[in-house]
Structure 1
Amino acid sequence: MRRELGYGVRALRRRPALLLAAWSVPEIVPTAGYGVAVAHATDAFLAGRSEAGLAWLAGLVAAAGLGAVGAGQVYRRLGELVEPVRDDLVRLVIGGALRRGVAGERTDGAVSRLNRQVEIVRDTYAGLILVVRTFVITVVGVLTGLLSLAPVIALLVVPPFLLGFAASLAILGLASRRVQASLAADEDLTTSAGTTFAGVRDLTAAGAEDFAAELVGEPIEAHAAAERALAKVAALRTLCFAVGGWLPLLILLAAGPWLLGRGVSTGTLLGGLTYVLLGLQPALNTVMAALGDSGLRYVVTLGRILDSGPPHEQATPTAVPRNHQARLHKVSFAYGVHAEPVLHDLDLVVAEGDHLAVVGPSGVGKSTLANLICGLLAPTGGRVLLGRVPPELLSTDLLARTRVLIPQEAYVFSGTVADNVSYLAPDATAQEIDRAIEAVGAAALVSRIGGTRAQVRPAHLSAGERQLIALARAFLSPAPLAVLDEATCHLDPEAERRAEEAFAARPGSLIVVAHRVSSALRARRILVLDGDDVCVGRHTTLLRSSPLYRDLVGHWQPPEHADRGQIQPAS
């Protein structure tokens, strides 16, 4: 329960929360004033001063109008608090389902969590914010009004009210556990009943009715016991409301003669009763109902979502990489529990400033290796370190500043050329953007589009043109480790050479999943993947020691037509 409550508190964005609190202040005015207005209006009417009594009531109406303005602004600000929570939960559910699917684990309930449970958390979270806010406003307003009206009444009313509220909070943990027990009992009963009903013919034929009754009877009794336990919690909640809501009223009525004897006017006593009946009682009833209903739904549902999230989302990413060296120690990876490993016990070090080409037949694990190094996949065995730190311990910002990955299918979004190129370096100057475009050989493309301020239409670009824009984006990135996963496969050999040489000259390290033998020849070292057989070395060394590499080089021939790989505008 603490985890779920802590999540809700941390999700309160500072600025929207402050604005919501600021717009709540006008609502305190009518809350604090209605008891005072009723007291003075009553005394004025009893004294025959009708005009004064009407003036107090008119002032109360004006204060209510001011409170309505504040309430309207509060609802406008509520979305700024709630919608980011929904977005975070959606990412959590999807990330958890994807990671469990990749690991071959069951992803039952992911669709329900995404479509229904996330909406339950969002709605209950919004409702709890409003209810708690209203409760705080009411208590502050009533306390202010009582102190200005007659402090002695506040001393009689406030302590039992707070006692009842504190008692209702104390039983929330018990209520949460019993709701979870009720849900578990309901699931057990459903499973047992479904199993029994599915085999009813066989049970009847075998004369096993007594066994079936016993099989279903136990979960029925367990479910009934769980419901009785919930009923006891409801009784405790009623007792808490009696203490906090009705006891202050009884105390005030019992102390009425004593208060009148000490100079408290009839209007003041009526004002105190008004604060209790129209302020404290409804506020306590509402907050107890909300915490006991929406609050428990929020805790239980959010708990299921957090339990289903990816493990690395639960960790607090506080580590800082010491450098941009990539190290793999005994790394294995399989796409499923029963699947054959794509990589097995791989040891690899990519030092700072290194230029490594990765080659091998299709499906051998080259892209998997790139995703492991970049932290997009978690190894099923061994360790991956970026700057001596596991990628999952790096925050999103630090990870983005440490490595950049360009996949084979380059992504370009609608926006200007400058927006696309500077996406990973939002503070880049126009001159830096131009230099990145020129370095990777995209200047002619950008000129044809209309310059860096021109709008990019992804559907109007060919695959090679999209790759050029993505390469410029990665080149401008502050990340010192660049990983090109066949990121130039749609470029002609000359364009590929220019782009790779630009990245090789860029400060940092470069890993290229090679598409042509020329990429391997430009690298300082070459990694040959061949199932369990892994070789690392220079071109000449591998020609002697690796039969697979010799075979790959023999099949990597220049294209028959020089213009086959050239980029052309998409039709």
Structure 2
Amino acid sequence: MKRELRVGVAAVRRRPALLLAAWSVPEILPTACYGLAVAHATDAFLAGRTERGLAWLSGLVAAALFGALGARWVYRLLGELVEPLRDELVRKVVAGALRNAQADGALARLNRQVEIVRDTFAGLVLVVRSFVVTVIGVVTGLLSLSPLVAALVVPPFLLGFLASLGVLGLAAARVRASLQADEELATSAGMAFAGVRDLTASGGEEFAAGLVGKPIEAQAAAERSLAKVAALRKLCFAIGGWLPLVILLAAAPWLIGRGVSTGTLLGGMTYVLLGLQPALNTVMSALGDSGLRYVVTLGRILDTSDVPEYGQGGRLPSGHDVRLRQVSFAYGPHAEPVLRNLDLVVPEGDHLAVVGPSGIGKSTLAGLICGLLQPTEGEVSLGGVQPAVLPASELADSRVVIPQEAYVFTGTVRENLSYLNQDATAAELDQAIEAVGASRLVRRVGGPAAMIRPSQLSAGERQLLALTRAYLSPAPLAVLDEATCYLDPEVERVAEEAFAARPGSLIVIAHRVSSALRARRILVLDGSHAILGSHQTLLTESALYAELVGHWALPAPVETGPDQVSRDPLRRDQLRRDQIQPAS
């Protein structure tokens, strides 16, 4: 909790907080005056001094107008205090998601939890400020009115307030459970919604309902626990809010016997009913609800989004050789492993192709090598260091991965191509564009300085830009995870040969036999074990590889007419793509 409180204290140390405190001072005046005004006006009216009584009430109205001016400036300054905190938290969540390569929980934190912290922090600033102003004003007014009345009212009020603070510790764990249940429900519902068509087609509605039902029940149980804590807060309010009034009424004859006037007694009750009770109720509700949500939610964001400093994860990589030792990976504690006891060494300068049927674990292997996933069992190392523990900057300097769905953002061609190597010169940029085979595309869109939008590019064009960006990267290990699947075979050949000639190592998740034939070594994944070898050895040693090559093989040319289009290699490649759906 100390860490979360430090974040809040740091936020209120900004200059708007000082102005906020300054404009809170005018609000103390009406709070301190209304009990006095009621007491003196009552005594004046009882004594027949109507003008004196009206004057006191008029002064109360003037004080209220003066306090309203302060409240107006308080709300104007609140945004300047809160919005910088929200921006800081958004940066933390995004940085943590990029570091951990996890979007599911980050989406819940970004869409809901950051807004919870923002709103609760703003509410807490207002409530605590108002509570402090009210208590200072009421205590000042009570002491001015009658120290004896103040001695009867203030102690039980403080007792109730301190008891409410003691309930917070009990409630904190239950709020954490509620937030955890919220994230688990968001993840489970997202999985079910993403596969809703497949679930409907296969009759898996009951399975999906069971998948989402348990997180729903857990969240409901957590909310019921929070309701029980709310009942305890009601008891604390009864002690701090109603007990002072009961004591004051019970002691009224005793007070009157010691010279306390009826107006003074009524003024003390006014301070309790219109000052202390609303202030205590508001601050208890805020601390018990918004305060806990602020602390727990902010703690959740900081726990999952803070990027560790370098030195906590180990030494720098020495080289870029890849080693997997008895690596297994499963998507969940009860799921069947996608990879099982895999041993693999990719030495520096190697060119490896990974092949296998769709869903066999090729992209999972790429994620493990690049540090985007952590193995369930075994160890993955890059240059002798586990990639998952490297800081983002060191990991980016060691490897670059290009997925099937290429990332392109709205901006210039140069910005899209050079953000992994912002020191690249114009000559290096032109050389990379030429080497990867993107020259025609760059000329078509208007050159390196031209603005591009992802929606205006085809999937293959986005892949070409991503490949050029990766080629420019200083990382010595390049992993192409079906990064050329939308390109024509000839364009794919140019790009892969450029990466093969680039200094460093190349791992290609292959979707065409040509990618495997260009590699020095080929890794075949078949679900039960993996076989590593050359094209010729695998044809005889791996039935699966021979089957894949046969599936990928080009059919015999078909004469289609006088133009002999089937003898054109580019046309043959088009015919092959139309006639054969390759396994990925």
Aligned to 2:582: none
Matched, 1:354 2:349: yes
From 118, 124, 129, the equivalent of 1:132 is 124
Matches within 5 A, 1:363-442: 363=358, 364-386=360-382, 388=384, 390-394=386-390, 399-400=395-396, 402-424=398-420, 433-434=429-430, 436-442=432-438
TM-score norm. by structure 1 comes to: 0.63
State the superposition RMSD in angstroms. 6.0
Give the CA deviation at 1:417: 2.2
Give the CA deviation at 1:160: 4.7
Code of the residue aligned with 1:138 in structure 2: it is S
Matched, 1:322 2:283: no
Pick closer, same or farther for the CA change 1:28–1:335 going to 2, 3 Å: closer
Does structure 1 conserve the Cα–Cα contact (< 8 Å) formed by 2:11 and 2:81? no
From 558, 562, 565, the equivalent of 2:569 is 562
Matches within 5 A, 1:127-206: 128-142=120-134, 145=137, 156=151, 160-174=156-170
Code of the residue aligned with 1:33 in structure 2: it is L
Code of the residue aligned with 2:316 in structure 1: it is R
User: Deviations along 1:242-270, whole A, 9 cap, x unmatched?
Assistant: 44335666888979999xx99x9999999
Aligned to 1:69: 73
Pick closer, same or farther for the CA change 1:33–1:476 going to 2, 3 Å: farther
Give the CA deviation at 1:551: 7.4
- Cα distance in 2 for partners of 1:159, 1:88 equals 43
Does structure 2 conserve the Cα–Cα contact (< 8 Å) formed by 1:37 and 1:60? no
Matches within 5 A, 1:15-54: 18=14, 21=17, 24-26=20-22, 28-38=24-34
User: Deviations along 1:465-492, whole A, 9 cap, x unmatched?
Assistant: 2211111222344544321123234445
* Secondary structure in structure 2 of the residue aligned to 1:319: coil
Matches within 5 A, 1:475-486: 475-477=471-473, 479-486=475-482
* Secondary structure in structure 1 of the residue aligned to 2:570: coil
Does structure 1 conserve the Cα–Cα contact (< 8 Å) formed by 2:396 and 2:475? yes
Code of the residue aligned with 1:562 in structure 2: it is P
Does structure 2 conserve the Cα–Cα contact (< 8 Å) formed by 1:26 and 1:70? no
User: Deviations along 1:21-42, whole A, 9 cap, x unmatched?
Assistant: 4564355223322245558978
Pick closer, same or farther for the CA change 1:288–1:38 going to 2, 3 Å: closer
Does structure 1 conserve the Cα–Cα contact (< 8 Å) formed by 2:39 and 2:265? no
Pick closer, same or farther for the CA change 1:561–1:86 going to 2, 3 Å: same
Aligned to 2:197: none
- Cα distance in 2 for partners of 1:401, 1:252 equals 73
Does structure 2 conserve the Cα–Cα contact (< 8 Å) formed by 1:406 and 1:485? yes
- Cα distance in 2 for partners of 1:286, 1:99 equals 37
Give the CA deviation at 1:451: 2.2
Pick closer, same or farther for the CA change 1:379–1:418 going to 2, 3 Å: same
* Secondary structure in structure 2 of the residue aligned to 1:135: helix
Give the CA deviation at 1:405: 1.8
Does structure 2 conserve the Cα–Cα contact (< 8 Å) formed by 1:326 and 1:386? yes
Give the CA deviation at 1:70: 2.0
From 320, 323, 327, the equivalent of 1:331 is 327
- Cα distance in 2 for partners of 1:252, 1:529 equals 82
- Cα distance in 1 for partners of 2:11, 2:415 equals 27
Matched, 1:487 2:479: no
- Cα distance in 1 for partners of 2:365, 2:527 equals 12
* Secondary structure in structure 2 of the residue aligned to 1:171: helix
Q: Tell me whether 73-82 or 42-51 shows the greater mean CA deviation.
A: 42-51
Does structure 1 conserve the Cα–Cα contact (< 8 Å) formed by 2:327 and 2:342? yes
Pick closer, same or farther for the CA change 1:326–1:18 going to 2, 3 Å: farther
Aligned to 1:189: none
- Cα distance in 1 for partners of 2:458, 2:87 equals 36
Code of the residue aligned with 1:65 in structure 2: it is L
Aligned to 2:445: 449
TM-score norm. by structure 2 comes to: 0.62
Matched, 1:461 2:457: yes
- Cα distance in 2 for partners of 1:228, 1:461 equals 52
- Cα distance in 2 for partners of 1:428, 1:55 equals 72
User: Deviations along 1:142-180, whole A, 9 cap, x unmatched?
Assistant: 465578776996995666544322211212444678999
Aligned to 1:470: 466
Code of the residue aligned with 2:414 in structure 1: it is A
User: Deviations along 1:75-118, whole A, 9 cap, x unmatched?
Assistant: 6865665699799999999xx9x999xxxxxxxxx9xx999x99
Aligned to 1:201: none
Aligned to 1:107: none
Give the CA deviation at 1:137: 0.7
Pick closer, same or farther for the CA change 1:250–1:381 going to 2, 3 Å: same
Aligned to 1:199: none
Pick closer, same or farther for the CA change 1:58–1:565 going to 2, 3 Å: farther
Gap runs ≥5 in structure 2: 45-50, 179-222, 556-565, 575-584
- Cα distance in 2 for partners of 1:178, 1:297 equals 10
- Cα distance in 1 for partners of 2:52, 2:332 equals 86
Does structure 1 conserve the Cα–Cα contact (< 8 Å) formed by 2:353 and 2:508? yes
Does structure 1 conserve the Cα–Cα contact (< 8 Å) formed by 2:121 and 2:294? no
Identity %: 50
* Secondary structure in structure 2 of the residue aligned to 1:484: strand
Does structure 1 conserve the Cα–Cα contact (< 8 Å) formed by 2:490 and 2:570? no
Code of the residue aligned with 1:319 in structure 2: it is G
Give the CA deviation at 1:140: 3.2
- Cα distance in 2 for partners of 1:460, 1:436 equals 22
- Cα distance in 2 for partners of 1:427, 1:249 equals 73
- Cα distance in 1 for partners of 2:326, 2:92 equals 34
Code of the residue aligned with 2:72 in structure 1: it is A
Give the CA deviation at 1:423: 4.8
Pick closer, same or farther for the CA change 1:126–1:334 going to 2, 3 Å: closer
Pick closer, same or farther for the CA change 1:40–1:325 going to 2, 3 Å: farther
Aligned to 1:345: 341
